[in-house]
Amino acid sequence: MVSHATIAGMGVALPAAVRQTDLWDGYFAQQHTGARRALAERIFAHSGVRTRQAAVSPLLEDVSNWSTERRMRRYQIEAMPLGKEAVGRALTDAGVAAEEVGLFAVCSCTGYATPGLDILLARDLGMAADVRRLFVGHMGCYAALPGLGTVADFVVAHDRPAVLLCAELSSLHLQPPAARANIQQIVSHALFSDAAAAVVVTPGETSPFAYAIREVTAVTDSTTADYMTWEVTDLGFRMGLSPRVPDVLAVHVRGLVTDLLARHGLEIAEVDGWAIHPGGPKILDVVQERLGLDDAALAPSREVLSAYGNCSSPTVLLVLDALRRRAAPPARVVLLAFGPGLTLYGVLLETSTVTA
């Protein structure tokens, strides 16, 4: 009987990158005037983002007045090759053939179509006709972690590999001028980016340095449900992002982490790798302060924010991928991600080197 599931491979695919300063100078600076322009410029400058990816760059194509229908059609066109590349790389990294996959799960909150990515990519990648599929929509930035928990449960129950794909195209949801002056929209336009990241999860140990998924945990503070929203409008999806989000994280994050670790006889000091979703600089500051972490612990998350922006659900996987590619990868990792609810998710990963 399989006792646990292991992350055996990862793959990332990114659209073309663009510098934050070029986005500001070439497009967003022209969208604001007076005091609002000065405020927007400060938000862009202090976002913690240096470069971002855009499948649909406003420097080349302004989609702000497109209908939601038109954006959804474009989503399918842009997301398919990114998803195929990310999953293909993850399967190669894991040494798993597409036809071996028992479950293919896809997380995305930035686009919908039927047949969806789960159906079309399973077909194009050569997965078996009886592969189980799951599409997880509209969970937002934390979706990778419940997705990871779901595929891990499948692997343990069925002793077969599974694949998780997180694919987001936030660039398709550039808001029209009437909404753009809202501070929450300015923050969203300064932070969000596009990416696809895939994980292959297999039964048992695959190598001494592969990460076993020990536990997935969550807490939701439903009293703050209106602090983070993602509304479907006639002109794309519109982000609502309260400045009070970091305050809610400050209340809950330490309890979530200490309870998770305590169930495994661990303390914060025994974790040598932290993959924290970089929702923005203030979120990372709050998590660092509440957990008592040093700058080195937060460096991977801040580096991902700087290089890639906030890509929604794939972002925490980008941080994990950066950690596992180090010359000396951490042996014990905690993943943290946050999103609508407000919801906090945590995952504990360990290599066999710390449990032998």
| Whole-Å CA distances, 318 to 41, 206, 313 | 27, 21, 10
- Residue identified by tokens 């992002």 is 241
Query: What amino acid is encoded at 263 in this protein?
Result: R
Q: Please, what sign has the CA dihedral across residues 75, 77, 78, 80? A: positive
d(CA 32, CA 178): 11
311 is catalytic: no
Query: In angstroms, rounded to a whole number, what is the distance separating the alpha carbons of residues 141 and 319?
Result: 13
CB atoms within 10 A of CB 166: 30
Q: Of the listed 107, 109, 141, 166, which one is catalytic?
A: 141
Listed in sequence order, the DSSP H helices in 220-334 are 245-262, 281-291, 295-308, 315-324
If DSSP states are collapsed to H, E and C, what string results for 213-236? EEEEEEEECHHHHHHEEEEEECCE
Rounded CA gap, 345 and 145, in Å?
7
Give the angle subtended at the CA of 7 by the CAs of 117 and 329, to the nearest 5°: 125
CA-CA distance, 28 to 57, in Å (whole number)? 12
- Other C-beta atoms closer than 10 Å to the C-beta of 95 total 12
Write the Ramachandran bin of 180: left for phi over 0, alpha for psi from -120 to 50, otherwise beta.
alpha
Both tokens of 301, joined, read 């998350």
Beta bridge partners of 215: 348
The pair of three-digit structure tokens given for residue 272, joined into one six-digit string: 């040598």
Place of tokens 């939601």: 68
Strand pairing report for 332-339 and 273-276: parallel
Taking every pair of C-alpha atoms in the chain, what is the biggest distance, in angstroms?
Answer: 66
Judge whether 250 and 308 are in contact, CB under 8 Å. Answer: no
Q: Provide the annotated active-site residues.
A: 141
